[in-house]
Every structure is written in C-alpha cells, then in structure tokens.
A and B are shown apart, each in its own frame.
Chain A
C-alpha cells in the first residue's frame, strides 16, 4: 500500500474518530452536559489526534528510513499497513479513554503545543543540516587543497586539468566592493525616501508611492540583471569609462553595484519606514512643542530614536547584497580580479560557486569542492552580519524603551 494512501485513509479515520469521540462524549455526559470536564468538541479532537499522530509518525519514519536506504523500496507497502494499524490502534485507544472526567482539552492542547514545537524546530534543524553538509564538504576540500592558499591566495584560476590556484581573496574583494557600492546607493536613497514617506508625505501620496516603491521589491533579480546588462552597463561604458579612459568593459563593478543598489532601495526604505513610524508621536510632539522645525525634529529626535533599527535594516540589506548572484553575473562579469577601478569587470563568491558547480563535474576534484568552502565562508560572513544586526537592534531597544 503506497504511503499516500495510508495517509488518506488515516485522515478519514481521524474524521470518523472526531465524530465518534464527540458523540461518545455526549453519551457519557447523559442529560447534564456540564458534567464533562472538556467540551465534546475537544473529546472529538483528542480522538482525531490520537488517530492521526501515530500514523504520521510511522509514515515519516518510513520515508526517512527509505531515503537513508536502510530498507528497500519494496518494504513501503509494509510501512503503509503499519501506519494504518497504528492509526486504528490510536482510534481504539482514544475512544476508550472518553468519559466525563477525561481531560480532553488538556490532551489536545499538549498535542497542538508539541506540533508547534515541531514546526519551529524544523527551521532550526534545517539550518543546522545546511551548515553540517557545508562543513562536511569543506572538510573534503581542505584535505585536497591547503587552507592557507585558499584564504590568503591572491589568484583565482581554476583549471579542470588540476594545478589550479583557488584563492578566495579576489572573490571576497569583488563581493565586498560590489556590496559596498550597492549600499552606497541604496542606503541614502532608501533612507531619504523613507523619511519623506513617513514624515512629509500626505496620506494620499503615501498611499500611492509606498506600494510603487515596493513593486521594485517584486522584480526578479534576473530582470535587474538584464537591465544591468543591456542598459546600465553600456551606458556607464560609453559615457563614463571610455571618455575618462578607465576601461572599455560593459560589465563592471559599478554597473552591478548600481543595479543592486536599486534592488535594495525598497528593502531599506520599507524597513526604515516601519522603524521611523514606530518612533512614538509623543517624541515628535515634544520636539515640535519646543519650536523645532520639522527637519530639526527628524534629524535630532526621530532619526536618533530610530537609528538602531535603521542600522539593523542596513545590515540586513548588506547580507542580501553579499548573497546576490544574478545581477553580478550579468552586470559585473565573471573575471576574478583584485583591483580598485570600478569600471573593471570583477566577480563575487556567489557567481563562482555557481560556475564551479555547473557543467560536468567531478565531485572529488578540489575545483568543484571549493564551491562548498566558498559557500561556508559566505554563510559565516552573512551570519556574522545578522548577529551583529540583531545585537545592535536589541541593545538599543532595551535602552530606549
């Protein structure tokens, strides 16, 4: 019996269990319904849950074991039957438990609570799983390639014949350079937009402009990449780089940085807007009541009060910029290079992860495994940024509450 059928049947059993449980609760209460500890609905739900839970547990165990190849696919039918048996047993047990004193509500609440805990642990466990798999592969990589050369090497020239130099520094530099330019664009523009939206704009303007800015957030990054490739890149090359004699490349750090900055504007502005709005009106009143102009009020009272949140927003934007791939591929090119000229093509960690893992790969070669080391480095950087962001936000929030 396939597992999905087992699941469907146990669901049907659970529905039946609910109805039986409820009617048995009514029956056991007799004429005085108040004798029941829990309302009949809870009795029904408790039976339904004791029917469903064992079946789901069995099914999940079976899927995990099959994925881990502990038992062969032929055993699936047996697992399905087992799940069904578990749910029938649960149904029987649940129904026999019903009487006036049975604390069905507490049972249901316990099970629901357990489910909630299960859901939140999934998120945490997944993160742990990702980190573990990265660490595992990175370990393989460092067995084949010296870690000092990886972290301090100035060259990135992978060759699939072997004998490659896989230094992270040019990629790290490209990542930080492009992200820095992106933040240089996004933070001031996003902040000023947020200040206008929250402090000056009339309700009508705000109602139109805010969603309009947020539309930017809905554009897929590949579309931004196309914009960088066909519009911004050639424009920067023809009007700035070539006249200034700084290069003739269509893809450049500046192209990717500018476009990525535009992508981040709604991110910065809508987070900052929420934060600025959260500054209590009494602060503004206090400042205005002392004869501050609106701009003095914003500069000296509202922004300092909003600063920790805004810094947090900026750091979150930074970790997005660091993780961005598509815009860089199309905007900045794929040449790993350590340089200061913003009109030159450069590349980032994420782009190289993609290029090392696409195509015909030998998963034992350091040229492929380096992707995991790069991924882990990137993960550590963004994790660090997020931790700092959360720390700043929390620290200042405590102080001003």
Chain B
C-alpha cells in the first residue's frame, strides 16, 4: 500500500511530457481516431487499453510519426512534445524518433550481432566519440534491459539467435541506447511467454525512472500491474483517462466498466 501511495504522489508532481489535443486520424476514408485529447506525464507509465481496432496503436504511432510511412494516413490536430508540435513543418521526423523511441509488438532485432543491434542507434546519431564510450553505452543499455548477464559472453553472435523474450529485451535495449525521452511500446509482450512477460514488465517499471513510457496492451492485468495512468480507447474515441487505480476500481464511463469487467472487447 505504501508503494502505491508513493507512486501516486510521484505522479502528481510530474510535468506534462506529451499533450495531444483534437487529434484526428484518417486512413483513406476511415476515421480511425476521433477527437483525442490526452496529457501524458513525464517519468510515468501510461497504458492504452481497449478492444482490437479501437485505435490505440494508431494513436501511439502518431506520437513519433510512424504513421508517416503509411501513404493513406492523414493526421489532424496537435500533439505537443515538451510544448513543441511534432507535426510542425520544421520538425524532422527523424530527429523526433530519436527522442521518442519505439518498441514493437513482434521482436524485430536487425540481422546483426547483439552488440551491433544495441549500438545501431548511438552510431547513427553519433552519441559516442570512441569505441570505449560505445561499449559503455551498449553495456549500460543491456543492463538497463536486464539482458546483460545473459548475453555478455556472446555479444558478437547474431541477435536473431536469441529467444523471443531475449529478443524483445534486446529491442528495448536498442531503443534505450538511443537515449530517448519517451518510450512507446506497442503490445511489447504479446509475442512472449508468461516468464518473459514478467521480465519485460519489471523492466518497464524500472524504465519509468528515466523515461515517460507509453504502453499499448491487450491485457488489462498488465495495464493494472505496470501503469500509473490508463487511457481507455473505444471505436477511435478516448473514452476515459485517469489514474490506473481509479479506472480499474471506479470507472466513470459505462463503456469502460463494460470493458474492464469483460462484457465488451
């Protein structure tokens, strides 16, 4: 109980990291996201929950402009990262994505060695001046992803040779190595077994010390376990957003209540 209280009080002191207002997303003629307003706090885990196709992943991908790669997607409204609109013309999506890291549903290590996978981001962004610094970043990131002890003796073997859970932690290490400010996770545990899932969840809780983490999940238990804030999406609308405890114990909207009690979705 003490822990929860501390987490809650910590939340109230956080600054707003991302602030979205009146966000609309269209895929061709389909109106996928309708009027979403949300404020995501720094150093907090925010969970997006909702039934399949409700737009939670779509909204997540708006934050680092990954939807730019889909030609038919069109986005309206404002998403401010530290007060700056990410859809402003002056913003380079490449630089934005260096600040807003992403971990995907399916582990997608590059066909390179474990070391090169983690060093990929620091290399392209020039975050290290020499080999020693790069080694340090790689070790720190792998430790941060709770993977170091398992792979320290085989850093130069291909990352694709790891198990599913290890691959996903490698992808998290890869994202962390770029030193982002926000970490977006799109159902990071959906391809993992329960043991790997609990390792990744533990990791997410630690990541909160340094990043603002946004996680899309299908599992309500997972949202309850790892997040401090929860947003419930339904049919492209943000139905309810608040402290995780409140959403799960005392939902305000009848749709939220139906979803968390398993009647819809």
Contacts and interface: CB of A to CB of B under 8 A. Distances in A.
A286 interface: yes
A300 B175 contact: no
Given A202-B71, A291-B124, A286 B110 contact: yes
Interface in B82-125: 94-99, 101-104, 106, 108-112, 120-121, 124-125
B214 interface: no
Contacts of A304: 110-112
B110 A291 contact: no
Contacts of B109: 286
B94 A305 contact: no
Contact of A291 (B103, B104, B125, B158): B125
B124 A300 contact: yes
A36 to B, nearest CB: 46
B195 to A, nearest CB: 23
A289 B160 contact: no
**Candidate in B71, B124, B125 with the most chain A CB atoms within 10 angstroms:** B124
A290 B98 contact: yes
Given A203-B71, A399-B158, A290 B111 contact: no
Contact of B95 (A285, A291, A300): A291
B18 interface: no
Contacts of B158: 399-400
A301 interface: yes
B40 interface: no
Contacts of A296: 124
Contacts of A286: 104, 108-110, 171, 174
Interface string A164-202: 000000000000000000000000000000000000001
Nearest to B177: A290
Interface in A251-303: 280, 282-293, 296, 300-301
B7 interface: no
Contacts of B24: none
Contacts of A399: 111, 158, 160
**Candidate in A284, A292, A296 with the most chain B CB atoms within 10 angstroms:** A292
A290 B124 contact: yes
Contacts of B94: 291-293
A91 to B, nearest CB: 58
Contacts of A283: 108, 110-111
A304 B160 CA distance: 13
Contacts of B69: 284-285, 288
B64 interface: yes
Contacts of A285: 66, 69, 102, 104, 108
Interface in A213-247: none
Given A202-B71, A285-B69, A305-B111, A290 B104 contact: no
**Candidate in B96, B111, B125, B178 with the most chain A CB atoms within 10 angstroms:** B111
B91 to A, nearest CB: 12
Contact of B120 (A284, A290, A400, A401): A290
A300 B120 CA distance: 9
A397 to B, nearest CB: 11
A301 B158 CA distance: 13
Given A202-B71, A285-B66, A300-B120, A290 B108 contact: no
A301 B110 contact: yes
27 contacts: A202-B71, A282-B104, A282-B108, A283-B110, A283-B111, A286-B108, A286-B109, A286-B171, A288-B66, A289-B66, A289-B102, A289-B104, A290-B98, A290-B101, A290-B120, A291-B94, A291-B96, A291-B97, A291-B124, A292-B120, A292-B124, A296-B124, A301-B110, A304-B112, A305-B110, A400-B158, A400-B160
Closest CB pairs A-B (n = 9): A291-B98, A289-B102, A282-B108, A291-B97, A286-B108, A290-B121, A400-B111, A305-B111, A293-B94
Given A287-B110, A400-B160, 18 more contacts: A202-B71, A203-B71, A283-B111, A285-B69, A285-B102, A286-B104, A286-B108, A286-B171, A288-B97, A289-B104, A289-B175, A290-B98, A291-B96, A291-B178, A300-B124, A301-B110, A305-B110, A399-B111
